[in-house]
Amino acid sequence: MKSLWNDKEASQYNDDLGLRVYTSRLLGLDASLVLHGGGNTSVKITENDIFDEPQKLLYVKGSGWDLETIDRPGFAPVDLDHLIKLAELPVLSDPDMVNELRTNMTNASAPTPSVEAILHATLPFKFVDHTHADAIVTITNNADGKKRIEEIYGDRVVIIDYIMPGFDLARVCAKQFAEQAHDKTEGMVLLNHGIFSFADTAQESYERMISLVNEAEEYLKTQNAWDYPQNKSVSLDSNAGNKIDNRIAIAQLRQAVSSVAGCPMILSADNSEKMLSFAQQENILQLAKQGPATPDHVIRTKQFPMLGRDVDAYVEEYKGYFEKHASHSKDKKTMLDPAPRVIIDPEIGVVGVGKTAKDAKIVTDIYDHTVDVISRATLLGGYQALPGQDIFDMEYWVLEQAKLKKSGNSPEFTGEIVLVTGGYSGIGKACVDAMMKNGAAVVALDINPGIENLYVSPNYLGLICDVTDEDQLCECLSQAVTAFGGLDMVVLNAGMFPGGCAISEMTTELWKKVMAVNLDANLALLREAYPLLKLSPKNGRVSVVGSKNVPAPGPGAAAYSASKAALTQLSRITAMEWGKDGIRINIVHPDAVFDTGIWTDEVLQARAKHYGMTVQEYKTKNILKTEISSNDVAQLVVATCSHLFAKTTAAQIPIDGGNDRVI
């Protein structure tokens, strides 16, 4: 591990809080130090208050901020003297502690201070850094972890036995640090938790952290516990049949997990060689069931992973675990949903489970590091996580329960997955936008390579796809299931309008091309998506983007009109065949949607001139004299997939401002 400090970059920050931001981001760049909001940093600063009198403040990382991207607003200023007084109290409940932290901030708009604020306040240094470094956690998750830490650092670090984060930890750390620290003390190791570094400059505190963690990594290397062997994985065959079986298996698993959770869940599968190798170890039961690597990971990964696909057995085990440990708890606890958050399967790999795609991805990322910790700790002498009672107490920590209660209502499609074809522009892109705003994880297909980078979001997967190529369609479905766990909704939007062409001039080649895109590709996608839609936790839905040309065709658009009419008829039959599975399919028929790629300014002006109208008159040549946008169509598509249409299937809904030929 090497320092990332750069004098030129650091010179851009001309005050202590700025340097605190800079070194916090440096720590956040290394996932082996902190991951997804983990870790904490602080700086002690004296500022004048409203009376122009000096006040000592602790600026500490606030709740909800990630070190990799933190900025000044992410640090909460708290009265330092008050925090130090709190550390002297014999007892303070964690809810009362949080209240004291919030009511003693000097900026009411700042985030809630870290629960480790008191601990940071008691350490007599200007800058304090705290990480959950993989190397430290690996060494301390051993039966002789404390002895090994002493062997590495001698008396240069203060060692604290595991205590759950909160007021008790802060009080014990303050007492033991005062008793054990000396002028050569460089850090503090919390067993099974992480490591602190500190100094009077940002650079020294940061580089101490890097140096201390580097020593731990080098120690693991000298003990032959760094590069761990990976078993020869039974790799999944790449032929189409096995891929279909695999995506159905994942979708079935998602359906079962969602049933237990009581709401749709997202599954993020990692079938890399590393994860498959870990999942296929003979002693996986012994390794995986000991618990997560640090208490920081308990909430997101639950207390132990589910092995295999027997959800019912897992639930029974979880309930037994709950009852056993709840009986020893001081407070009466309310059980969270017993759905697993980590699933380990020898064929699928490691699967993260969450109520959103972001949550599921966080779980897989955390478990990726957990695999490193477990594997290296095993080589070092044997992985040994926290006892079950400590893990249970962390999972049902009163502060976490309060956070869950405040989470509020989620958008309607939270936990659900939608596939949108032709998603790069026009109506397709508007559908992607609308679905994401309503909480869905979106898989967008388009032949335009720009689809891959249309959005940077854990809720988005853009895939290049020629929808007329069935192999590409099937591969995209496999990628969708691997990324999110299944499929709940399909928006059939991709299509082509070849321009005006009389039947007498229509070539067979053009006819077949239009049919291939507008009809045949949709048949193939419906067929391949059907087994996944059947497994949707809230019943599958399909929304078809048809055309006004179905009820009211016009000359010069034979191929387009016929293909859309055939697609509509196909959709009606699909509704009849799939109704028994609870799958509904509805069709929207837009007309004159001018904010799409085919309607350039030149084309609009030419068409308006043809009708003897202005461009605006041409855009609103309907009964309501209104303009139809891609977003208008997308909102209707969303509605057909929502609870509003829960009891409607095979409907054909115009969105055209009113057309006398349709009416």
Which string of b and e fits 49-77 if b means at least 16 CB within 10 Å? eeeeeebebbbbbbbebbbbebeeebbbb
Tell me the three state secondary structure of residue 64.
Answer: coil
Q: 360: part of which helix (H) or strand (E)?
A: helix 357-380
Taking CA 390 as the corner, what is the angle to CA 274 and CA 157, rounded to the nearest 5 degrees? 80
Residues 6 or more apart in contact with residue 469 via CB below 8 angstroms: none
DSSP codes of every residue in 174-221: HHHHHHH--TT--EEEETTTEEEEEESSHHHHHHHHHHHHHHHHHHHH
pLDDT of residue 407: 58
Strand 40-48 with 127-131, pairing:
antiparallel
DSSP codes of every residue in 249-272: HHHHHHHHHHHHHTS--EEEEE--
pLDDT of residue 237: 47
Cα 74 to Cα 64: distance, rounded to the nearest angstrom = 8
Cα 49 to Cα 67: distance, rounded to the nearest angstrom = 28
Query: What's the burial of 651, exposed, middle or buried (CB within 10 Å: 0-12/13-18/19+)?
Result: middle
Cα 104 to Cα 92: distance, rounded to the nearest angstrom = 16
Whether 417-593+628-655 and 240-405 are alike in CATH topology: the answer is no
Strand 127-131 with 194-199, pairing:
antiparallel
Residue spans of the chain under pLDDT 50: 236-238
Nearest to 359 by CA among 420, 414, 304: 414
Residues 6 or more apart in contact with residue 252 via CB below 8 angstroms: 309, 535
Q: What are the tens digits of pLDDT across the range 286-338?
A: 888 877 777 666 556 666 789 999 999 988 888 887 777 776 655 556 666 78
Beta bridge partners of 269: 351
Contact between residue 78 and residue 44 where contact means Cβ atoms under 8 Å apart: no
Taking CA 429 as the corner, what is the angle to CA 425 and CA 430, rounded to the nearest 5 degrees? 125
Structure tokens at 193: 């938790």
Q: What are the tens digits of pLDDT across the range 337-369?
A: 788 999 999 999 999 999 999 999 999 998 999
Residues 6 or more apart in contact with residue 52 via CB below 8 angstroms: none
Cα 208 to Cα 93: distance, rounded to the nearest angstrom = 33
Q: Is CATH 3.40.50.720 the right assignment for the domain spanning 417-593+628-655?
A: yes
- Identity of residue 430: A
Beta bridge partners of 196: 130, 188
Beta carbons within 10 angstroms of residue 230's beta carbon: 15
Q: 452: part of which helix (H) or strand (E)?
A: none
Backbone angles phi, psi at 348, to 5 degrees: -90, -30
For domain 7-222, give the CATH number.
3.40.225.10
Residue 648 DSSP code: -
Backbone angles phi, psi at 7, to 5 degrees: -60, -40
Strand 342-345 with 349-354, pairing:
antiparallel
Q: How many CA atoms lie within 13 A of 375 on its CB side?
A: 18
Cα 87 to Cα 59: distance, rounded to the nearest angstrom = 17
The residue extents of the domains of the chain are 7-222, 240-405, 417-593+628-655
Please give the CATH topology (third level) of the domain spanning 240-405.
Answer: L-fuculose-1-phosphate Aldolase (3.40.225)
